[in-house]
Amino acid sequence: MGLSSSQARLLSLTGRMHDIEYKAQRLEAQKLQLANETRRVNEDYLNALDAIKIQARALNSDGSSTYYDATFNNLIYSKTNNSIYILKDIESGKVYCSDEIRSAFANSDRTVEGFLKTLNSLRTDKSSYTSITSVEQLASLSGATGNFKLDADLVLDNWDGIKSFKGTFDGNGHTITINNSKFGLFRSTEGATLRNIELNVDITNHDRNNIGGLACYISNSTVENCSVNGVINGNRWLGGALGYTTGNCTISNSTANVEVNSDLIDPSNGTDTAHKFDVQSYAGGFIGANKGSLTVENCRAEGNVTSEYEIIGGFIGMALTNATFNNVVATGDITANRSGAGNIGVYDYTVNYHRSNMFGSGTFLGEFNRASEVTFTNCYAYGMPTNKGTTAGENYVSFGTNDPCETPNTINSYSRLNGDSMPAQTIAISSDITTTYPNIDAGDMDYLVGMFNILNESEGGIAVDDSQKDNPVWLSNMLTNGFAMLAKFEVKANRLEITDTSVAVDTNLREVSDEILLKKAEAKYEADMKRIDLKDSKYDSDLAAIDSERNAIKQEIETLKTVAKDNVERTFKLFT
């Protein structure tokens, strides 16, 4: 028996009623979410009304003050009133810094020079450099021009040397190890720049002259921030770092700790030590010989130098032409079996090239020509000479004295032979920052050195995200919510002092209402409330329509129920 039409209609209306109730519940839930959103918008607006920002004061040339909104970038790097601010984490005590500075410290040798050198390399425009990561790539640089950067440590066995290099090579703080080889990293350079190169060398070559751990022969070239360690055995013109320099060459901020041995073995007799050349060695702990205009600054030679004959130096074997040495140290001992020895050996080439018994060796310079200009400023020689010749008093001079052989120009230069004690000496940061660290602004040096000291004490720092560096709200929140505190560097009597400070006590800082943020908040509040009101009106309209439909369905259901009841009663009466 099928359903009557009234019963079918009643079932349909009941289903519609369920749908209506579901829609109504969903709209009520959306209105509740809208109410929550309204509260959030109101809270954001109230927070904006209470928001403050930190401003820093800068002095103008006319004595007036200008305040600017402080961010991590402009507060940390600005030199506001001769002060440099830093941000420290309260919980750990670590300093907040850029990821660049954090990486430079982490990848350095934990010396200030190493830190600056690594930072300088990180700031180099990598797109202008060709990356070197293999021995094959390194060997292909013979005759090359352009810019090259080492991006991996390399080990070179039986190395043949890079010839006629004319470009820029940046070692990037990586280490190159040269084993069982006859040549240094470069055989020859012309107009080249060699920087940031770390070398370990084991070189033996009695077939060629002009041998050096970094380069055998350089002309019109620059060497900066390089170091060489190891041993070199050979005949003539040997240097721990450089064999022979000519043209205009500049060497700065570099070290050589290399044992240099001038064996003078005749290659026609193999390694028969009984057959040796009877010639001058011209060997030095850092440079073998120079013929040109040479400038050396902030360098150090620490290896011992030995020769079977004569003319060797703790730092340089021979300076035939003009040479200037500034803040240069030689600490190695020298052993020259057939020459007199002092701090500076001397020979006058203008008189007689082979004048008997007139060959010198020195704990700093083996030999120089009196006709040239050789100047020593703030130089130190601390090695000891042994196996002196019989006429030592006639063929050597000491720093600061006037021996029978005329002394070169010396300023504030001392030696162990003169009875001077060795003062503390470190390789100084070059005054010409643009040359030594071309990618570091000289005005940032105080900040960077201070940052290095702090990072060194706290074993690293905390990197600040790029999105936070220029955000004044982030800086304000870090300080006002107690996550970080301010400190500052101050230059006092040419020294940097670090003191904790705060916005409350520092007269160069102030807290102000953030008017720009407030205006933005007002505009956002109005836009958000308008959007919420429109949604709320629509929800109310939809609920009103649902309510009307619900009432109509209820009325129809009641009517159908009444009709169904009447029909049941009539049917019951018929059957009874």
pTM of the entire predicted model: 0.56
pLDDT value of position 17: 83
Buried b (16+ CB within 10 A) or exposed e, 191-225: bbbbbbbbbbbebbbbebbbbbbbbbbbbbbbbbb
pLDDT range class, residue 392, cuts 50, 70, 90: very low
Alpha carbon 20 to its chain's center = 68
pLDDT band at 262 (very low <50, low <70, confident <90, very high): confident
pLDDT of res. 576: 57
Query: Inter-axis angle of helices 99-106 and 112-122, to 10 degrees?
Result: 130
Residue count of the chain: 576
Of residues 127 and 211, more confidence is placed in: 211
**pLDDT of 26-85, one tens digit each?**
888 888 888 888 888 887 777 666 566 788 877 666 777 777 888 888 776 555 445 678
**pLDDT (tens digit per residue) in 444-476:** 777 788 788 888 888 888 888 888 888 888 888
Q: For residue 174, which phi and psi values (nearest 5 degrees)?
A: -80, 160
> Which pLDDT does position 495 carry in this prediction?
56
Q: Name the residue with higher pLDDT: 124 or 343.
A: 124
Tokens of 163: 């010839």
- Give the CATH fold of the 208-415 domain: Pectate Lyase C-like (2.160.20)
Pairwise pLDDT comparison (351 vs 380), residue with the higher score: 380
pLDDT of residue 391: 37
* pLDDT exceeds 60 at position 341: no
Asked whether the beta carbons of 48 and 528 are under 8 A apart, the reply is no
Instruction: Kindly indicate the confidence band of residue 125, based on its pLDDT and cuts at 50, 70 and 90.
Output: low
pLDDT for 292-329, tens place per residue? 889 998 888 999 998 877 778 888 888 878 888 888 88
pLDDT at 80: 47
Which helix (H) or strand (E) covers residue 85, if one does? strand 83-89
Mean per-residue pLDDT, 172-194: 93
pLDDT in tens, 84-117: 788 889 888 888 888 888 888 887 778 888 888 8
Long-range pairs of 98-106 with CB within 8 A, sequence gap ≥ 24: 98/463, 98/464, 98/469, 99/463, 99/464, 101/448, 101/451, 101/455, 101/461, 102/455, 102/460, 102/461, 102/462, 102/463, 105/451, 105/452, 105/455, 105/456, 105/460, 105/461, 106/460
Per-residue pLDDT at 502 exceeds 60 = yes
